Structures are given as structure tokens and as C-alpha cells.
Structure 1
Amino acid sequence: MNELPPGWMKVNLGLINEFSSQTLLPARQPDQYFELYSVPAFPNHKPELLLGADIGSIKQLVEPNDVLICKINPRINRVWKVLPKGQVEQIASSEWIVVRSSGLSSDFLQHYFSSPAFRDLLGRVVTGVGGSLTRAQPKRVAAFPVLIAPINEQKRIVDKITALLTRIETCRERLDRVLTLAKQLRQAILSAAISGRLTERWSGKNRADWTLERAATVCEKVQNGGTPREGFVAQSKIPFLKVYNIVNQTVDFQYKPQLCRILTPNGISIRP
């Protein structure tokens, strides 16, 4: 029974890849600029523009719409589509597996190679001891099955993904603005509270009644934080706050709780 949608087919990656590797040594053209697709440049999604003199190793020639799959440390999802060509030669480091297919949508392939199913396959064919030392094996990757939709369906899938990702990005930007406003509101509330503005309507008192004093004049003791050697009890309702109890801007007394006695002004110990 064919489980694929009508018009879809499953083929090995190597059968749809038209890329034939051509290499060059940019250092032999020291005064010429190159558009370099390197792994360090990927997070910015912008290739580097470098003189040949600044590129020390052999690179592979790439073309617009080539899809690059990073084979170094493949647990990190790095898939890149080569941009439209400008005035300079486009090259990529040897850490990329290049896929070129004139009959398929490069955007569709980029999304497909970024999918969890493909990433899972890629993670199974690595060599190396771990982390940045692992490499996907191009020959084994070429044998991966790829699900290919009809070209019109590829375009519809790409349009749908693009629309959804745009909505996600818009939501993220709005959330960032809300978080910023929340921080500003928090600071404004704290500022109003310690200045008296927050409660003057409720208390009926004017802020002119407030005075500004040094901490030393209103506190019995001001010192650096420290953990007392004595005074802790097995059972109490009074937890002792330590740095490790503050997690993600919240207080968690459940982690390594320490409970303490209360000392009255005359030094009498009270166990709540």
C-alpha cells in the first residue's frame, strides 16, 4: 500500500543532487573578493565578504539556490541556501554538503533538510568522538531517502511555512515588547512605592511627611551577607534565604532549606 500522498515520491538524496564539486584556492587571487559561506558566519545568516588573501584554505564553488547542509557537529541544525549572486564569486567551506537540484524548489529542500526527521537521520551517520569533532558522512547522507512533493505542492508548502514563521516572529517581537514594558512597569511601581507616591491616596498623607535617612540611623545592623554558624533549627516557619534559593528571579525555599530561630531585641531566642 502506498502511504505517500498522490504525486509524492521517495528518492535517495544522491539521485536528485546535481552538484559536482569544483574547488579553488582563494589565496592565489589575493586581491579578489569572495562571498564565503562559512560555518562561523551561519548564525548571522549572512556570508562573509573577504579578500582571497584572507582565506587560507581550499574552498568549493557554489551557485545561487544551492542548499548547504553542515556536516560538522550535525546535532546543530544548520541548513543554508546560497543567495542570489552579486559581483563576486560564491564559495563555501568544505564543512558543507552541497545539494543542487534544478527541478526542485530550493526553499522546499531547505525546510526539508531542517526537519526533525532528516536531522534524526543525519545524527545517526556521524564519525568522531563527540561535539564539534563529529562529522556527518557525505556518502551515507547521499543514500538518505527524501520525500519529494509535486512542484506546485512544494511551492504551497513553502508559502505556508513562510506565513507561519512570519506570524511566529511577529509574536516573538510582541512578546519581547511586553516583557520590556513589564520590566519598566515593575521599576515604576518600586520607584513609586519607596517614594511614597504609591500609597499617598490611600493613607491621605502628603509625601512631605517623609524623611530621607541614612540606613545606619534606622537599622540596628548593616553588614555584608553571611551564613551564621549557629541558630538553625530542624523545624520552623522561618526560612533562611541563601543565594541558591533564588532561581530565575523567584525564591525557592524547597532547595536545601535552612530554618532559623527569631531573636527578640533583648536576645531571647524564639522558635516559631
Structure 2
Amino acid sequence: MSKKIAKSQEELLQEALVPIEEQPYEVPGNWAWVKLIEIVEKMELRDPIKLQGEVFHYVDVESIDNKNQRVREYKETLISEAPSRAKRGINQDDVIISLVRPYLKNIALIEENNQLAVASTAFYVCRTNGSFAPKFLYNYLRGPVATAYLNKHTKGDNSPSVRNSDFELIPIPLPPLNEQKRIADKVERLLYKLEQAKELVVQTMENIDLNRKSVIVNAYLGKLTEEWRRTNQINESAFDLVMEIQKRRQDDYLSNVELTIKATSSPRKNKSEPDFIPYISHEDSSLPKNWCMTRILDLTECLDRFRKPVSKSERENRPGDIPYYGANGQVDTINDYIFNDDIVLVVEDETFTGREKPFSYIVRGKSWVNNHAHVLRPLGGIDVEYLNICLSYYNFIPLTSGSTGRRKLTQAALNQAPLRLAPLSEQKIIVSKVRKVYEVLDKVKQNCIITLERIECIKESILNKAFKGELGTYDHAEVKAIDLLIENEVGLNYRGQ
């Protein structure tokens, strides 16, 4: 039997290099395209059972902050309860990347030396053999070219993944080691500036939401129209509005009773009649002139008796384009409607404590509402937008009952809730002013969204240019990357193993 002839260093080097036709793009003359497997050490097996102590520090996919590509936490885990996937040894300066759903970009550079750290086998651990600077590879794997390669080689439906053998062949553009460090440093500086800009934009967006709430609260208190009241003569009052609403209610009730009697030709039975005496108060010294305190009951008609929940399975059998609403907005669509009006929905049973969303929202036109939201229709010419302004950030929490996690606002509690009411003419001014402020805030928010998209584009551009030698880091006088490979005996030690 003939003895196998060992390959020469030149042959091994050629196997380490990526063929010209497979190279993603052209790189500077002293760079080289190499396969990942040729520049990393063999992955270390680290069995938690063999570690000292009772616990180890586990890094699984959930441990990664994939927005910032870093380890968010090391999970202290009992060795006796070690998951079967806890097998990968990780050390400082290792680059780890999850090959399970790689499009999520669960990538991190290990920044601390932790001998108790063990990673899941979902990760491929890239440990340098001396041919690459860890931060260089880390940034390359975050970039668009590496992402495209991983997406192309992802297989499977339930848990789409890239095989280790495919990942090991990913082409890596390898500059001289000193240039790698310059590229990594420059990328880090540029991305840090982008991150600072991103934080400012995100903070602006958070301030926009706070400003929305502030505008609504000030509108409800009457502070938004202080100047308007000083410069305009008001010849009507909220008191008159409430009394007019109750008079219409009483007239409508008596008309309906009379029609019922005529239709049945039988005398009325003695039963309790509705109370048409509204609650009106002017005792609150903070009330603006011509305003009053009343109840939600005295301004609206509660339509809860018409709402009806429909299960998800039933909705699937009733496809349509009518919006189906719940406590926090539209849940689904359905083929029929209950309401065909401008109404305000108020949360009935949801998270009240610590809630950031408004407690109410407007629904216009045809709709179906389930039993997790109260349905209110404003009366007496009150604009649906004004009612929503009054209720959006109303302090309903003291009126709720039940556990802290999921409290309930009953219909009775909602109806009896006291409400500050402005005269009808001022209500219209309040709605107009809120609209104008919201238009400005909406434009600012849209500009913020566009800016965030541009930041991401710039980030992609930086990573793209960095690994083409286009960031001003190239030095043609430096030793060639191929010499670096030869110096580290690429293809010899690892292949021998």
C-alpha cells in the first residue's frame, strides 16, 4: 500500500486562499482572501461538569444583545442543571456568532477573561491563531457581506441554521495585522459617533411621546387655552351644556315611553325612572371661567350593551375588512359591524399601573368591539376628539379594582368618574390646538425615523468600506497578508489536528 504524500506548504497555502472566482470583491494588493477555517483555532470543548465549584456562567442566544452585538449577561447556572448545549469554551477576545437564525445577528466579542464561561453549541467560537485581530473579525461578521453569505447558506424551516462546515468556508478579506488593528480602531470610533447620534435621536423620540402626554394633560386642565380665554369673550358655559344634554335625554326618554305605551295599549308599570339630574360642581378653584365639573355619565352614552367578543377561531371563519377592536386598539378584522359611528373606546381590563399607552382612543365608522373596552358616544355636540383628549391620560387607577397586574375599570366606575368640562366653543379651540401641536410632533417623529434609517445606512457603508481598504487605513509598504499566513503556519498545525 502506497504511503500518502504530505502536501507542501505552498499547496496548503493555496488551499487556504479563496479562489479568485469566489472572491466577493477586489481587495488591496497586500491583502488576501482566506477561508475562515484557516485563521481560527479549533473550538474548545468545555464541559461544565469538569469546572471547579457548583455554578458556571452560561451564554446562550438570549444572553446576546443583538442590537448592539454584545453579551448582555452571563447566566449563573448550577452545574447539576447544565443544558445539554452548554459545551463551547469561550475566552477573552473570542468572537462568537450564533449560526441558528443568523439573520438575527447574535454576535459578540468576549471582553472579559472568565474561566467559568461556557457558550451554547448554537455559537461558533472564532479564536484567532494569530492571523487576525479579534475586533477586525468581529466587525466584519457584523457587516453586509458576511450577513449575505450567512443568509445564502441558511437551511431548514423550524430552526433555520448555517452548518459549521459552511461557515468555516466564509471568505475573509485579510489585511496585514497592523492594518487590521487600524481598521478596527477606526470602525470603532466611527460607529461610536453614530451610536451617540442614534441615542440623541431615540431620546428625541421619547421626548415626543412625553410632549404628547403633556399637551393632552394641559389641554384637559385648560392651560392650553389660557391666552385664548383672555382675548375672547365667552358667552356660554359648560353648565348650560350639561343641562341641555340632560334635557334632551329626558325628552328622548319620555318620547320613547309614550311610543311604547301606544304600541302595547297597556298602562305603564310602576318602575324606577332614570335619574336625569346631572352632577355639576364649581368648587374646584383651578377650574377656568365658565368650566364645570360633571360626570362622564352626564356627557356620554355608554354603549357597552352592544359590544360582543368573538373568539380568534370564529374570526378566522368570518374573514372581512371591518376592524375588530380590543383594549389596546385593533386586534383583527371581521365580516360584520356593531357600530357605525365616531366613538371613544376606554380600557376596561388591562394593565393600568405603569401604563404608557393612552387609556382611550377614537374609532370612526364601522367597527366591532369586544368586551375589553368600554364604548362611549359623546352627546350634545361634544366632539369625539375632545372627549378622547379628556380621557386619554385620565387617572383611572384609583377607580379600578382587582389585582395590580390586571385591574378592571367597571362601567359604573367609568360613568361616575368626575370630569372637567369646557364650554362647547372652547372645546373646539382645544381640539384645534392639540391637532396643530400633534402635526408638528408627527413631522419631528417622521424626521427621526428617517434619520435612524440613514444612521443604519451609514453604518452599513462604514462596514462595507472598511473591509475594502477604503477608510484611509491602507499602507502599501506593509508586509503582505500572505506572509502573515505563512508566519502563522496556516494550513499546517490546524490541518494536522
Aligned match of 1:27 in 29, 49, 55?
49
Aligned equivalents of 1:37, 1:217: Cα separation in 2: 59
Judged with a 3 Å threshold, the aligned counterparts in structure 2 of structure 1 residues 55 and 231 are, in CA distance, closer, same or farther, namely: closer
How far off is 1:147 after superposition? Answer: 0.7
Does the CA-based 8 Å contact 2:91-2:113 persist in structure 1?
yes
Structure 2 match to 1:139 = 165
1:13 corresponds to: 36
1:84 to 112, 120, 124: 112
Which residue of structure 1 lines up, in the alignment, with residue 216 of structure 2?
A: 190
Alignment match, 1:122: 150
Indicate the residue corresponding to 2:246 in structure 1.
Answer: none
TM-score (normalizing by structure 2): 0.42
Structure 2 residue 121 is matched with structure 1 residue 94: yes
Runs of at least 5 residues in structure 1 that lack an aligned partner in the other structure: 233-239, 259-264, 266-272
Aligned-partner SS, 2:100: coil
In the superposition, relative to structure 1, how do residues 122 and 212 fare at CA in structure 2: closer, same or farther (>3 Å)?
same
Gap regions ≥5 residues in structure 2: 1-19, 66-70, 234-286, 308-321, 323-335, 345-356, 367-379, 381-497
Q: Which structure: greater helix fraction?
A: 2
Report the TM-score, using the length of structure 1 for normalisation. Answer: 0.72
Please give the secondary structure, in 2, of the residue aligned with 1:147: strand
Contact 2:35–2:168 (CA<8 Å) still a contact in 1? yes
d(CA) in 1 for partners of 2:339, 2:108: 61
Provide the rounded CA distance (Å) in 1 between the counterparts of 2:222 and 2:200: 32
CA RMSD of aligned residues (A): 3.6
1:223 aligned residue (300, 303, 306) = 303
2:43 touches 2:127 (CA, 8 Å); kept in 1?
Answer: no
Q: Is the 8 A contact 2:136 2:181 kept in 1?
A: yes
The Cα shift of 1:109 comes to: 0.2
1:85 to partner: Cα distance:
1.0
Corresponding position of 1:157: 183
The 2-side partners of 1:121 and 1:185 are apart by 44
| 1:26/1:56 contact within 8 Å kept | no
Alpha carbons 1:27, 1:54 under 8 Å: kept: no
Shift of 1:39: 1.7
The answer (yes or no) to whether the contact 2:60–2:119 under 8 Å persists in 1 is yes
* 1:42 equivalent among 41, 45, 64: 64
User: Partners of 1:13 and 1:53 in 2: how far apart?
Assistant: 35
5 Å matches for 1:69-80? 69-80=97-108
| Aligned residue number for residue 236 of structure 1 | none
Percent identical across equivalent pairs?
Answer: 21
Contact 1:9–1:148 under 8 Å retained in 2: yes
Q: Which moved more, 1:174-183 or 1:3-12?
A: 174-183
Matched residue pairs, number? 241
Q: 1:242 to 1:105 in 2, by over 3 A?
A: farther
